Amino acid sequence: MNVIEASGLGKRYGSTWALRECTLAVPPGHVAALVGPNGAGKSTLLNLAVGLAAPTTGAVTVLGGLPPGSPAALDGVAFVAQDTPLYKNLSAADLLHLTRNLNRRFDQRYAQSRLGELGIPVKRKAGQLSGGQQAQLALTLALARRPRLLVLDEPMAMLDPVARHDFMATVMTAMADDGVSVVLSSHVLAELERVADYLILMSQGRVQVAGEVDDLLASHRVLTGPAAEAGRQAGRLNVVHARRGGTQAHLLVRANGAADPVPSGWDAHPVSLEELALAYLREPGAAALPGPSRGRPAPLESGEPSEVTR
């Protein structure tokens, strides 16, 4: 049972495609990180998955085949949108009451207990709470619905590091204790690297990379060697991103086991999730899945090594 499954999914606003040709299957039991630049189609994909928008082409289902927005899907999917929207003039207690009455399932005791543990005053208006407290309140309202899938769209964008850490700790606890699957859109790559075990990388309205993090990291590596030989190596290897700094070149490549031995005079290094994501974001034409691409090698950039090739 996939928690989100899309086939040929596309969404157009006027003449502009926000998402196109999206085919994706997100298995349960993961924290799936949805990564991409602004305008990549992340929010559009999530809005389609939770039933807030209708596709222009293709189809998407959730929780093993349920139509987004259907009563069964609404019972099983909780969504925290960008900027954790809340009714600012309502108190936390009012928001608990409202959410309880708008949903067929709501764990009032859990919600009250959790707000108490966090020290969030239930009589205070949401607009008077700190950014971290507002995010935790929105997350509490979502988790109290006891969902099977929790969808989070940039919930940490405005939070400080401590608030981000506390927010993600709550998400991970819900996953461990209740078996909640999580799809999380975020720009904070360092935070995602700590918690995510599944990666969906989007660029220009398309999915470029999708898979379990361990598998993706194992199938990529960074090669460091003489800059003078970089062009020749880039022509024979599956290079995702290449960068030159002085006399050294750094090639992030998709490896194919014994078929891609380390060239003589070059060193191979493991790749981090952040390096992998940045490499594909810099080369939106490179495709990691469904299989290795042997198309045009990535251009060799000059300059000092960046964070992609640290």
> pLDDT tens-digit profile of 274-291?
889 888 888 765 554 433
Phi-psi group of 84: left, alpha or beta (phi > 0 → left; psi -120 to 50 → alpha; rest → beta)? left
Range from 82-91, 99-108, 186-195, 261-270 carrying the lowest mean pLDDT: 186-195
Q: In whole angstroms, what is the distance from residue 206 CA to residue 282 CA?
A: 14
> What is the average pLDDT value for the chain, to the nearest integer?
86
> What whole-number percentage of the chain has pLDDT above 70?
90
Helix axes 161-178, 131-143, angle to 10 degrees: 10
Q: What confidence tier does 163 reach under pLDDT thresholds 50, 70, 90?
A: confident
Residue 203: what pLDDT? 87
Q: Are the C-beta atoms of residues 240 and 223 closer than 8 Å to each other?
A: no
In 10 A of CB 165, how many CB atoms? 13
79: Cα separation from own chain's centroid: 14
Order of strands, edge to edge, in the sheet holding 16-26?
16-26, 4-13, 57-62
Residue 28: what pLDDT? 95
Sequence-ordered list of residues with C-beta below 8 angstroms from that of 250, at least 6 positions apart, any chain:
222, 223, 224, 242, 243, 244, 305, 308, 309
Q: In whole angstroms, what is the distance from residue 35 CA to residue 22 CA?
A: 15
Nearest alpha carbon to residue 191 among 220, 161, 170, 212: 161
Q: How many CA atoms lie within 13 A of 296 on its CB side?
A: 7
Residue 284: what pLDDT? 63
Q: Is 224 helix (H, G, I), strand (E, B) or coil?
A: strand
Residue 272 clears pLDDT 50, i.e. is over it: yes
Q: What confidence tier does 257 reach under pLDDT thresholds 50, 70, 90?
A: low
Q: Which residue has the higher pLDDT, 90 or 163?
A: 90
Please name the helix (run of DSSP H) or strand (run of DSSP E) that holds residue 279, with its range, or none.
Answer: helix 273-282
Q: Is 106 helix (H, G, I), strand (E, B) or coil?
A: coil
The mean per-residue pLDDT over the stretch 242-269 comes to 82
DSSP letter for each residue of 120-175: --TTSBGGGS-HHHHHHHHHHHHHTT--SEEEEESTTTT--HHHHHHHHHHHHHHH
The mean per-residue pLDDT over the stretch 76-98 comes to 92
pLDDT digit string, tens, across residues 101-142: 999 999 999 999 999 999 999 999 999 999 889 999 999 999
Give the pairing of strands 77-80 and 57-62: unpaired
Print burial letters for 250-279: b (CB count within 10 Å at least 16), e (below 16).
bbbbbbeeeebeebeebebeebbbbbbbbb
Q: Are the C-beta atoms of residues 62 and 75 closer than 8 Å to each other?
A: no
Q: Are the C-beta atoms of residues 307 and 278 closer than 8 Å to each other?
A: yes
Nearest alpha carbon to residue 72 among 180, 148, 142, 2: 148
Classify residue 131 by burial, with Cβ atoms within 10 Å: 0-12, 13-18, 19+: middle
Q: What domains lie within the chain, and their CATH numbers?
A: 4-213 (3.40.50.300), 219-309 (no CATH)
- The label of the residue with tokens 């927010």 reads 167
Residue 58: what pLDDT? 97
What beta strand segments (E) does the chain contain? Answer: 4-13, 16-26, 31-35, 57-62, 77-80, 149-153, 181-185, 198-203, 206-212, 220-226, 239-245, 248-254, 267-269, 300-301
Distances (CA, A) of 147 to 3, 11, 105, 121, 141: 12, 26, 9, 25, 11
